Structure 1
Amino acid sequence: MPVPEFVTALRSKIGTDPLWLIGCTAVVTRGDAAAPQLLLVRRADNGAWTPVTGIVDPGEHPSVAAVREVLEETAVTAKVVRLAQVGVTRQVRYPNGDQTQYLDLTYRLRYRTGRPRPADDENTDARWVPVAELGAAGNRWGLSAAMQARVSAALADEAAPRQVLLEG
């Protein structure tokens, strides 16, 4: 998994100490309301299926980061529809000892063009999945509870973003 250069530069100064970062989750949908589909990727680091996620670069607007991450990771272009959820993750400790906690901004995006594929080394697969397969009874894709909550927030027709104080 490539680590952004600005994170590498910070790590050279602070070592593995906790680092607060802004992340984004891009929940990309296509299709009609009767049978919508969701873009999922299979992460190379742990094999989990998730929506596209990424780190916001310094000075970058988070919605721009969401669109960029979708293109970089899947070769799909998408347009932001709305901010769906603002959440804070629990602290993450990576195998190398780095500690990080994320402010996650989850966006709903609408598909524009492209055929999903792993466009970089962050994922091993990318595909459209019927939203009906993601429900609690049929979650054959194994989305974590936190990812399910992000998808649920993105798919809801709510005017204001959901607020999550600390997600699992």
Structure 2
Amino acid sequence: MATPDFIVSLRRSVGHELLWLPGVTAVVLRGDDVLLVRRADTGEWTPVTGICDPGEHPATTAVRECLEETGVRCEVELLAWVDVTPVIEYPNGDRSQYVDHTFRCRWLGGDAHVADDESSQVAWFPLRALPPMAADHRERIRTAVAHTGPTRLT
């Protein structure tokens, strides 16, 4: 994941100290298929994820990140889940924790492709045939697809 410039700037002041950051997961659906990216840094399949820029609404971040990473245009249908990730320590020693906003999004157009250096592959997968991925990402997809009623807060 490319580190946003504002975080690089913060790190000059705070070093490896824990940063609390707003993040998003965009579960983009096209019929019974979900858009996934294979992360260039870890090789893991995930939905589109990203960090909110300062002052940016999380729904706007979801749409922006999807277009920047995959070339796919989408719109947010709903906020399915707000969750807090465990603390993540990166190989360089930086520590971050995210309040994740999982959005269910609808495909509007665009051919899915690798659009930046954050992913090595981009593809649509049938919901019934997802590739191996971390349990938290499967749960975000499951929650976004099945969501009805109020936003899940856990």
TM-score normalised by length of structure 2: 0.98
- 1:144 maps to which residue? 134
Residues 70 and 122 in structure 2, CA contact (< 8 A), matched pair in contact too: yes
* Structure 1 unaligned regions, length at least 5: 135-140
Structure 2 residue runs without a partner (length 5+): none
Residue in 2 aligned with 1:137?
Answer: none
Q: Give the Cα separation in 2 of the matches to 1:2 and 1:153.
A: 26
SS at match of 1:28: strand
1:74 aligned to 2:64? Answer: no
Kindly state the Cα deviation for residue 142 of structure 1 after the two structures are TM-superposed.
1.1
Counterpart residue number, 2:61: 65
Q: Kindly indicate whether residue 13 of structure 2 is the aligned counterpart of residue 17 of structure 1.
A: no
Q: Give how far 1:130 is off.
A: 0.4
| Consecutive aligned runs of 4 or more in structure 1 exceeding 2 Å deviation | none
Residue 90 of structure 1 pairs with residue 80 of structure 2: no
What TM-score comes out, normalization by structure 1 length?
0.90
Match of 1:161 in 2: 151
Within 1, Cα distance between the matches of 2:110 and 2:153?
Answer: 32
Partner Cα separation in structure 2 for residue 117 and residue 124 of structure 1 = 9
Q: Name the aligned partner's letter for residue 99 of structure 1.
A: R
Structure 2 contact 21–98 (Cα < 8 Å) conserved: yes
1:109 maps to amino acid: C
Aligned match of 2:52: 56
Alpha-carbon RMSD: 0.8
